[in-house]
Structure 1
Amino acid sequence: MVHEVRGVVARSKNAPVSIETVLVPDPGPGEALVKVQACGVCHTDLHYREGGINDDFPFLLGHEAAGVVEAVGAGVTEVAPGDYVVLNWRAVCGQCRACRKGKPWYCFATHNAKQKMTLADGTPLSPALGIGAFIEKTLVAAGQCTKVDPAAPPEVAGLLGCGVMAGLGAVLNTGAVTRGDTVAVIGCGGVGNAAIAGARLAGATTIIGVDLDDRKLAWAQQLGATHTVNGGQADVVEAIRELTGGFGADVVVDAVGRPETYRQAFYARDLAGTVVLVGVPTPEMQLELPLLDVFGRGGALKSSWYGDCLPSRDFPTLLALYLQGRLDLAAFVSEKIGLDDVEEAFAKMGRGEVLRSVVML
């Protein structure tokens, strides 16, 4: 059986998205059909539309999603029809060298659905991050479905599918922030503010948000920043040092991913401190640092892939903390919109007006 549904498609580079009829097949072996209830509008979707990821147009956009499993294919044991799930884009294989070492969050052989969703004329679609969730129903690998508590509303639960998890994980997993640490986060969009929320959750005592936009700095304070720095009005490195007793922060998160912000993070950390890069650079960017400074300052320079998360471990735990009132995930939902509003949501994102627009289906 083929399911005929509506989805948001980017047909060509930089062209406005369109609502298209999409044909979604029944799940084959190892696959699941998910009825999408909510999907966040992430900057990665805009990167796809702009051709910044690759040129495999047309793209079926959307990937920060929660919904209900409608059907599963042969051999699927992880989930069953009726399960409430958050979708993830790193379904671990369990067999690669990372998985065999007991580090499945680094899985080097993550996988997606084998079958293609298509336009009505048969043109195959490239689903964003192997998911494609700005759609009424989507086809994914069963391992991309993480069963969670249905008490968490879909507009909140789905945010763990990408950006919010990346920020939380950059602090909790990659940076290993703990009680009493000092933390600085450069870039206070969705990912950076999630890192700030994670630092508060971990018990950091000084949490510094850095951005050029006072509106984003206000969000940072709402989510747990004890101090903020407008990088257009102050020397970022000196400001962070001043706020940390002259030493620099124990952990500095670069949630922007540019050479200049990385250098700020590198020099704003304490001796033997940690830099975590979670912002995604573009291919042409180059970084230059004195090698003696790399040696002399010690510590660790880390990159955080998807917050080094293991969805089966982290999604249920973080939603439990949300339901206990200890993690304000709802603060990231700036507005709820429909499928027809995605293009305008991209514009609002570009203007810095929202943390997350969430498509409700």
Structure 2
Amino acid sequence: MPQKVQGVIARAKDAPVELTTIVIPDPGAGEAVVRIQACGVCHTDLHYRNGGINDEFPFLLGHEAAGIVEQVGPGVTEVAPGDYVILNWRAVCGQCRACLRGRPWYCFATHNATQRMTLEDGTELSPALGIGAFAEKTLVAAGQCTKVDRAAAPEAAGLLGCGVMAGIGAAINTGGVTRGDTVAVFGCGGVGDAAIMGAALAGAGTIIAVDVEDTKLEWAKGAGATHTVNSSSTDPVEAIRELTGGFGADVVIDAVGRPETYKQAFYARDLAGVVVLVGVPNPTMTLELPLADVFGRGGALKSSWYGDCLPSRDFPLLIDLYLQGRLDLDAFVSERIGLGDIEAAFTKMHDGAVLRSVVVLEGTTA
């Protein structure tokens, strides 16, 4: 039987979000219904509300989530009812050219649930990143569920579903940070601080955080930055060179996603160094660089999709590190809120007042 639950939707561009009743169908082949325990408020959700992703309104928002599998459809073997899972938005297909070449983290045919959740009047909803987890329950493809240790607090674990994984993966998976490397990170919000944590986990010797706000630079120190640069008053390229013996950093991560910060990242790296773009630019942005500099400086310019993660591999590993006290996911949780508080959380996020507001639903003990 279809279920009626409470969920938060964006009905029209730039309109305030609404808490309303949504209808969850029974899971079909390859699908699962998940009872949401916690879901982070990510900047991508605000992009959806503001029409910055596409115009397929109304959207069911939310995607950084952890919860309990309640039902599964025919043919599902990955998870079973009662499993504690983190949701991901890139369920790999196993059949595309990337998967068949042994690179499933680049899967070109990731998938979501086939059926749509709806409003009570039958209006189909577009779930944010194929998840839609600002709701008591949601319908996803079973491959979007990654089983993890149920000892992990859901408000922390769910953050691996997007921003934290994107940052950690940008450093470790995409950037290839290793022992003794020098690393610079532009932008010290949730993704940037996660990149700093990832660099520290990998054994980087010098980690330089760059931002225009002193508050965020203090957050970066807590994440593991060894040095900070306020780029509103200091040239970050010169500062990074000075802190790295005049050479530049081995790996520079742009967690902002603007042409200005990307150029700074490009020139702040050492010869043959790596630049990683993990901040998401808007479609109107363009970049101009002297081709001779691109050639002459060597190295690699990379984009990081979701931290180039493989959820089945990375989520359980990172949860284990969290439970061992080696990865402080709790540090990202600035506040715990209810489903009715999301519009206010968007304002706090836009103002840079929080790393993550996390919606916590009842029954969050895994």
SS in 2 for 1:123: coil
Tell me which residue corresponds to 1:90. 90
Tell me which residue corresponds to 2:364. none
Equivalent residue letter for 1:313: R
Are 1:183 and 2:191 counterparts?
A: no
Tell me which residue corresponds to 2:230. 230
Q: How far has the Cα of 1:325 moved from its partner? A: 0.7
Are 1:53 and 2:45 counterparts?
A: no
Q: How far has the Cα of 1:140 moved from its partner? A: 0.1
Normalization by structure 2: what TM-score? 0.98
Residues 61-99 of structure 1, C-alpha deviations (whole Å, 9 max, x = no match) = 000000000000000000000000000000000000000
Are 1:42 and 2:49 counterparts?
A: no
Tell me which residue corresponds to 2:352. 352
Normalization by structure 1: what TM-score? 1.00
Q: Tell me, which stretches of 5 or more residues in structure 1 are unaligned?
A: none
Distance (Å, rounded) in 2 between the aligned partners of 1:166 and 1:5: 30
Equivalent residue letter for 2:308: D
SS in 1 for 2:250: strand
Tell me which residue corresponds to 1:266. 266
Q: How far has the Cα of 1:49 moved from its partner? A: 0.2
Equivalent residue letter for 1:309: C
Q: Equivalent pairs: percent with the same residue?
A: 79
SS in 2 for 1:150: coil
Q: How far has the Cα of 1:220 moved from its partner? A: 0.1
Divergent runs of 4+, >6 A: none
Give the alignment of 1:1-361 within 5 angstroms. Answer: 1-361=1-361
Q: How far has the Cα of 1:205 moved from its partner? A: 0.6
SS in 2 for 1:160: helix
Distance (Å, rounded) in 1 between the aligned partners of 2:12 and 2:35: 26
Residues 113-152 of structure 1, C-alpha deviations (whole Å, 9 max, x = no match) = 0011000110000000000000000000000000000000
SS in 2 for 1:280: coil
Distance (Å, rounded) in 1 between the aligned partners of 2:3 and 2:345: 27
Equivalent residue letter for 2:275: V
SS in 1 for 2:210: strand
SS in 1 for 2:233: coil
Distance (Å, rounded) in 1 between the aligned partners of 2:239 and 2:126: 44
Q: How far has the Cα of 1:274 moved from its partner? A: 0.1
Distance (Å, rounded) in 2 between the aligned partners of 1:243 and 1:47: 36
Q: How far has the Cα of 1:219 moved from its partner? A: 0.3
Distance (Å, rounded) in 2 between the aligned partners of 1:29 and 1:38: 26
State how many pairs are aligned: 361
Distance (Å, rounded) in 1 between the aligned partners of 2:271 and 2:291: 15
Distance (Å, rounded) in 2 between the aligned partners of 1:349 and 1:318: 25
SS in 1 for 2:65: strand
Equivalent residue letter for 2:111: H
Q: How far has the Cα of 1:167 moved from its partner? A: 0.2
Residues 185-233 of structure 1, C-alpha deviations (whole Å, 9 max, x = no match) = 0000000000001011100010000000111000000010000000101
Equivalent residue letter for 1:31: E
SS in 2 for 1:257: coil
SS in 2 for 1:13: coil
Equivalent residue letter for 2:288: E
Q: How far has the Cα of 1:17 moved from its partner? A: 0.2
Distance (Å, rounded) in 1 between the aligned partners of 2:157 and 2:26: 25
Equivalent residue letter for 2:49: R
Q: How far has the Cα of 1:171 moved from its partner? A: 0.3
Q: Tell me, which stretches of 5 or more residues in structure 2 are unaligned?
A: 362-366
